[in-house]
Amino acid sequence: MIRLPQIGWDDLKLPGFATRAIHGGTLRLAVTGLSRSGKSVFITALIHDLLAFPRLPARLPLFGAADDLAARVTGVEVALPVAADIPTFPFARNLRAMAAEPPHWPDGTQDVAEIAVDIRFRPGGFLHRSDAEATLRVVLVDYPGEWLLDLPMLDRDFAAWSADMLAMARQEPRAEAAADWLAFLAAHPPTVAHDELVAERAHDLYRGYLVRCRDRLGMAHLQPGRFLQPGDWSDPALLHFCPLPPGGGAGSLGAAMAGRFAAYKRAARERFFDRHFRRFDRQIVLVDLLQALHAGQAAFADTGRTLTEIAGAFRVGGGLLARLFGARIGRVLYAATKADHVPALQRDHLRQLLATLLRAPILDADSRGAETAVVALASVRCTEEDEALLDGRPTPVVRGVPLTGFRQVKFFPGTIPIKPPEAGDRFWSRPFFAMPRFQPPRLDPDAATGIGHVGLDEALDFLLADRLR
């Protein structure tokens, strides 16, 4: 009697190499944000919570919930360095900072850095064997948000860009911060013969104006971005320019500045945008919208303009990135950070406010086939919910330890609007408390137990879950 081999259901399904080919691969996720929005903290928390996910999926309850991802992820590991010529993101050092006594926040982003995480998972569906696994490598690319501001410059000429920058500098509240620079330009018109010392002085005064706009006024639209965060810029002479009024022929200050503007754009494109942006699959942009609100009407409007220009650059199909670099970023997530600084009832207000600011570019992106989303996010939650009496009424507040303190304090940030208040609205005349900086919670860097957060699971679900099905 001839015995036929027993054939099970697994024998009729795809072999393991086919499963790995279909579901594996690499996803490059770019992380950036406007100044002091928490990029380094976001990447550190994301990796720490992913490492804990196979054992403690409850840390990220919304991550892949619709696809039962918690039951299918079998392991997560930090991979070897991604590229020998790109610095590795300092994940371990950042964890040590938040585990110190007292804990402190890690240093901010100074240049491009990368780190990769391998996520092993069993794909869903009936085509795959029960023991089949695939690995998705997620490469996280960290870069300074200031560099985003150079994107809208790349398809502008020096005259048009200068006219825009000068018009902004002559309006309050920027005019006072720009006074020294504008006075220098008045004494050194673009028609004078080029003098390198004059060019350097003009650049230094312009950069000082940008720094004051950022640090004193809370402004965000500050170009060029590398004037504030140069990174590894090997030729500083390329930075010695600034906006100028029209005028000046060959050999003039105006001609020299226009030439350096063009050289700067070429260098920025070759060294960063061509090299990195062309390879990005997805992007998250972090925004400290609370700080913009507290900085006042002018700073908030400036932030809105900046976000609109950045969002326009990320459009899929015909957007600036596609036109300049052939880039096809499939998904863009905008996140209003420090959501733990407002009570839970107001976090959706924060999300709606950011969504309203970006309504026009998001609608345009949707019409072109882009996928975008907006979340309220705290990568590391450093407050707790509480209540306080304000004007005799119990009011939800948050409670945390100030960065330079030892005891918890209660904080009420004011009412968060769901749409940008109009000019002259009473909102801008109401007193605000100064935005505090809270200490991070103490954590064990070796336990991989995850970090408390607000909305990180929702962000991961949008950015990664579809590639883990």
Mean pLDDT, to the nearest integer, of 250-257?
96
Whole-angstrom distance, CA of residue 313 vs CA of residue 300: 20
Total domains in the chain come to 2
Query: Do the domain assignments include residue 2?
Result: no
Do 24 and 123 reside in the same domain of the chain? Answer: yes
Q: Is 159 left (phi over 0), alpha (psi -120 to 50) or beta?
A: alpha
Whole-angstrom distance, CA of residue 322 vs CA of residue 325: 6
Do 330 and 453 reside in the same domain of the chain? Answer: yes
The dihedral built from the CA positions of residue 278, 338, 45 and 88, taken in this order, carries a sign that is positive
Domain boundary residue among 246, 275, 304? 275
Do 167 and 297 reside in the same domain of the chain? Answer: no
User: pLDDT-based confidence at 4, cuts 50/70/90?
Assistant: very low
Do 190 and 306 reside in the same domain of the chain? Answer: no
Model pLDDT, residue 276? 75
Query: Do the domain assignments include residue 7?
Result: no
Do 242 and 305 reside in the same domain of the chain? Answer: no
Do 207 and 295 reside in the same domain of the chain? Answer: no
Tens digits of per-residue pLDDT, 150-176?
888 888 999 999 999 999 999 999 999
Model pLDDT, residue 32? 87
Query: Do the domain assignments include residue 214?
Result: yes
Q: What is the CATH number of the domain that holds 113?
A: 3.40.50
The dihedral built from the CA positions of residue 359, 365, 371 and 372, taken in this order, carries a sign that is negative
Mean pLDDT of the chain: 87
Query: Do the domain assignments include residue 401?
Result: no
Partners of 33 in the β-ladder:
286
Residues 6+ away with beta carbon under 8 Å from 63: 53, 57, 69, 70, 457, 460, 461, 464, 465
Residues 6+ away with beta carbon under 8 Å from 106: 40, 41, 44, 90, 93, 94, 97, 98
Q: Lowest-pLDDT range, 132-141, 189-198, 446-455?
A: 446-455
Do 133 and 204 reside in the same domain of the chain? Answer: no
Question: Could you write out the DSSP letters of every residue in 340-366?
Answer: GGS-HHHHHHHHHHHHHHTHHHHHHHH
Query: Do the domain assignments include residue 350?
Result: yes
Domain boundary residue among 254, 275, 296? 275
Do 132 and 160 reside in the same domain of the chain? Answer: no
Tell me which of 40 and 235 has the higher pLDDT.
Answer: 40
Do 205 and 344 reside in the same domain of the chain? Answer: no
Q: Tell how strand 371-376 and strand 384-390 pair up.
A: unpaired
Helix axes 253-268, 158-169, angle to 10 degrees: 100
Residue 108 has pLDDT above 70, yes or no: yes
Our measurement of the distance from residue 304's CA atom to the centroid of its chain's CA atoms, rounded to an integer in Å, reads 15
Tens digits of per-residue pLDDT, 75-101?
999 997 777 778 899 999 999 998 888
User: pLDDT-based confidence at 130, cuts 50/70/90?
Assistant: low
Our measurement of the distance from residue 390's CA atom to the centroid of its chain's CA atoms, rounded to an integer in Å, reads 35
User: pLDDT-based confidence at 233, cuts 50/70/90?
Assistant: confident
Query: Do the domain assignments include residue 323?
Result: yes
Domain boundary residue among 248, 275, 302? 275
Whole-angstrom distance, CA of residue 271 vs CA of residue 194: 28
The dihedral built from the CA positions of residue 439, 440, 445 and 449, taken in this order, carries a sign that is positive
Query: What is the extent of the structural domain holding 261?
Result: 155-275
Helix axes 39-52, 91-98, angle to 10 degrees: 90
Query: Do the domain assignments include residue 398?
Result: no
Our measurement of the distance from residue 465's CA atom to the centroid of its chain's CA atoms, rounded to an integer in Å, reads 20
Do 261 and 300 reside in the same domain of the chain? Answer: no
Rg (the chain; Cα; Å)? 25
The first and second tokens of residue 168, run together, are: 């902004």
Do 141 and 76 reside in the same domain of the chain? Answer: yes
- CA triple 6-8-9, angle to 5 deg: 160
Whole-angstrom distance, CA of residue 322 vs CA of residue 310: 14
Do 261 and 285 reside in the same domain of the chain? Answer: no
Query: Do the domain assignments include residue 175?
Result: yes
Whole-angstrom distance, CA of residue 138 vs CA of residue 30: 10
Cis check for the bond before 144: say yes or no (omega within 30 of 0): no
